[in-house]
Amino acid sequence: MAEIDARPLDTLAIVGLGLIGSSIARGARQFGLARRIVAIDRDEAVLERVRALNLADAATDDLAAGVAGADLVILCVPVGAVGAVAERMGPALKPGAIVSDVGSVKASVVAAVAPHLPVGVHFVPAHPVAGTEYSGPDAGFSTLFSGRWCILTPAEDTDPAATARVQVFWEGLRAIVETMTPEHHDLVLAITSHVPHLIAYNIVGTAADLEAVTQSEVIKFSAGGFRDFTRIAASDPTMWRDVFLTNKDAVLEMLGRFNEDLAALARAIRWGDGEALHDLFTRTRAIRRGIVAMGQETAEADFGRGRPSDPAA
């Protein structure tokens, strides 16, 4: 078993200061996880906000300079961009550095990033299963990951000490860490996250098409269910475009199963099979209650999604 190094990092570099990246920066500072934080983003407007919010000790658009000397580099960019970022920063990484990410797809990220990392640099992919529909450096908060899962998907030959270092970091952000293979991760997340987002985008898109027909009554009389779908569908479009394109096999597999179940549900409604409907709704209610019981959701009004106060903001 690898010896666990729980000391603060000397230098943490974060590439991409959106919701996740800025939340990592806030959490790392609040919980004392790094002595120095470097923020890297190609958008000067984002860097200006990072400086104004004092999220990092240094903020730059120079990727190579930003990662040079970093002990841990976390890529917080859309999964479709990780390969290009890894290629550009690879030569600047110091021996022994650890590279990680936050993408919600893992197999394609491993394939895109690993070939560009020099020998002696460790890659420990990660996926914090947390977020909101908001984006940008102002949207982050230090407790975003508290009590939420973070899934690590290291390769079998990854240095155990590097994996342990990343695990300690996420536990320092108050996340609950689980380890699995990239392929298993992508299958699980396809049904728990990716397909629900796709359904939400589709339903909201259908409602938008109906707006003219119903003279704005779809939005005017939106009930709770539709409002929840619009919250999901408000997520970052670039990120989700890349998710579906890079995890298409698992998403299509889950969509096939969903369509089969949806057809069965349609038959039950058509033929007045109330018992089948009641059985399904009973099972799904139990799943919801299980999620709440595990602390991964709350039964509060509006799901308790008011933005918490952030002492590190």
Q: Tell me: the pLDDT tens digits for 196-249?
A: 888 888 888 877 777 666 556 666 666 667 777 777 777 778 888 888 888 889
**What's the pTM value of the predicted model, to 2 decimals?**
0.80
CA distance 194 to 243: 8
Domains annotated on the chain, with CATH: 9-180 (3.40.50.720), 184-304 (1.10.3660.10)
CA 158 centroid distance within chain: 22
**Sheet strand arrangement including 98-101:** 58-60, 34-40, 9-15, 72-75, 98-101, 122-123
Q: Average pLDDT, whole number, for the chain?
A: 87
User: Per-residue confidence at 193, pLDDT binned at 50, 70, 90?
Assistant: confident
Q: What would the two tokens of residue 173 be?
A: 């952000």
Q: Which tens digit of pLDDT belongs to each residue from 103-161?
A: 999 999 999 999 999 999 999 999 999 887 788 999 999 999 999 999 999 999 999 99
Euclidean distance between CA atoms 219 and 142, whole angstroms: 33
Task: Supply the angle between the helices 248-270 and 182-189 in degrees, to the nearest 10.
Answer: 30
How does residue 283 score in pLDDT terms, banded at 50, 70 and 90?
confident
Strands 9-15 and 149-152: unpaired
